[in-house]
Structures are given as structure tokens and as C-alpha cells.
Structure 1
Amino acid sequence: MAITQTSNTTPTQDAAALVGRVFISMLFLPAGWGKLTGFAGTVGYFGKIGVPMPEVAAAIAVVVELLVCLLFLVGFKTRLMAIILAVFTVATAFLGHAFWKVPPEMVMAQQTNFFKNFAIAGGFLAFFAFGPGRFSIDKK
């Protein structure tokens, strides 16, 4: 079933959607590149914090943060990419920011990051709901 945008957007909305895709991608693309270029360190860190199958998880993280986010950035299959990124971001909240497992002095920072991940996922869900705007491959 194809999801299509049923309403027209204004140039301001289209520009805001493009800037929104750029801003949100600025978080994921450098993180993915860092994981790729420091893959062994990423695997080690994932193992240290208890991520299951750290090698597989690191590879998935690289693919999502680089490839899926790049497709989201250019607006290709934007709604699908937004759902994948939303699910990934919520999963990483639980895997990487488990504030209930950390020492008391780390709770506030981890809790903030946990809920920031949910806020980011909310942004992705908005793109799923409303689409990428006209300045995207999907709209060409």
C-alpha cells in the first residue's frame, strides 16, 4: 500500500521540511561515520554496555545511521526511512541510555538522552505523517 501526501504544501513548509531533514541528519551521519571508521571501538563499547551481538548491532547502526539517514536526507522513500529511523532511535534509547542502570551521578544525563531520543523519534514520526516536502526525491 503506497502512502501519498493528500494536501498541498507551501514553499515555506517545503523549505522547513528540507531544513528539518538536514538538521536531524546532522546527528546521525557523523555518528554513523564515526562508528564505521572506529568499528572495533564501537563493537567494544556496545559489548561493554551490554548490547546483544555487538558486532551485528554495530553493523546495523552503521547502515541505519549512514545509508538510511542519507536516503532520509535526500528525501528518497522518506516515510519508510523515517519509520526505520524512529524505531532505531527508540531502540537506542533503551540500549544506550538505560538511566535506571547507571550510578546516581549519571542518571540525569542518561535520562535526558533517553527522552531526547524519544523527541527525535517524534520528529521522524512527523515526517512519516506529513512527508518530506517538495524539495525531495520523492516529490520529483
Structure 2
Amino acid sequence: MLSKFESQFALAARVLLALLFLPAGISKLTGFAGTVGYIGSVGLPFPELGAVIAIVVEVGGALAIIAGFKTRWVALGLAVFTVITGLFFHKFWAVPADQVMVQQIMFFKNVAIAGGFLMLTAFGPGAWSVDAKRGE
């Protein structure tokens, strides 16, 4: 019964996943100095480059996912990006006790989002997508 809504669910899934990344990327762009400072605060090298990469991945990736353009590759890239950012920015194992719970939730949120992107990688964007229109 639910299979008749497969296209609608696939579109909704793409939009819902992208809604986390598009505003985050835009806020990194509009608050570039703060983003650079935050990236630098965790000890990553070349924080300016990291900020640019994050903005491109988050804004560009979100728009591609919404449109269903090169979905499998973009989703795989976003899955990897999301796990890596969780490892660097939500180190629940290395924070004071009063921060563990929030950072652990944020880390596993990233892991779950990566799982959603891996589902898109495995099953594609659905019929309502640029990829489907292009026969990919």
C-alpha cells in the first residue's frame, strides 16, 4: 500500500535531509569569521579552507540532494562528511562530564544522518528527481 507513495516519500526524505545542511551552510557563509574560529578551535589545520569546503559541501550538497542531481554520489559524499564532522566536532569521549550527553546526542545524530544518506546512495533519489529525468 505505501509503495504507491514511493516517489513522494523519496522527495520528502531528500528535502528533510537537506534542510539540516542548507541553513547550516548559509549561516557558515554569513558568519564566515565565526566558522573559521570554530574550526580552528578544534585544532584543524587551514580553518579558512575548511570553512570554504564546509560551505560548498553543505550548500551545494543540499541543493543537489533536493533536486535529486547526482544523488548517489552527493549522498555518499555527505555521509562521509557528516561522520567526519561528528568525529571532530562532537567528541563526547573527550569533553567534561557536564557536556557528554549533548555531544553524544549530536555525534549519534550525525551517524543517523549518515545512515539516511547511505540509503539514498543505495536506493537513489526516486522518480521525482533530475537523475530520474536524465535516466540515471
TM-score by length of 1: 0.90
Answer yes or no: is 1:84 the counterpart of 2:61: no
Answer yes or no: is 1:49 the counterpart of 2:38: no
Quick one: distance in 2 between partners of 1:113 and 1:70? Answer: 23
Quick one: distance in 2 between partners of 1:71 and 1:41? Answer: 26
How many residues align structurally?
131
Answer yes or no: is 1:126 the counterpart of 2:119: yes
Q: 1:136 aligns with which of 87, 110, 129?
A: 129
Q: Aligned Cα RMSD in Å? A: 0.9
Q: How much identity, in percent, do the aligned residues show?
A: 56
AA matched with 1:42: T
Q: 1:39 aligns with which of 24, 28, 32?
A: 32
- Is the 8 Å Cα contact of residues 19 and 62 (structure 2) preserved in structure 1? no
Give the deviation of 1:45 after TM superposition: 1.0
Quick one: distance in 2 between partners of 1:40 and 1:30? Answer: 17
| SS of 2:7 mapped into structure 1 | helix
AA matched with 2:122: A
**As a proportion of its length, which structure holds more helix?**
2
Give the deviation of 1:68 after TM superposition: 1.7
The runs of 4+ residues in structure 1 deviating greater than 6 Å are: none
AA matched with 1:40: A
- More off after superposition, 65-74 vs 118-127: 65-74
Please list every run of 5 or more consecutive structure 1 residues that lacks an aligned counterpart in the other structure: 1-9
TM-score by length of 2: 0.93
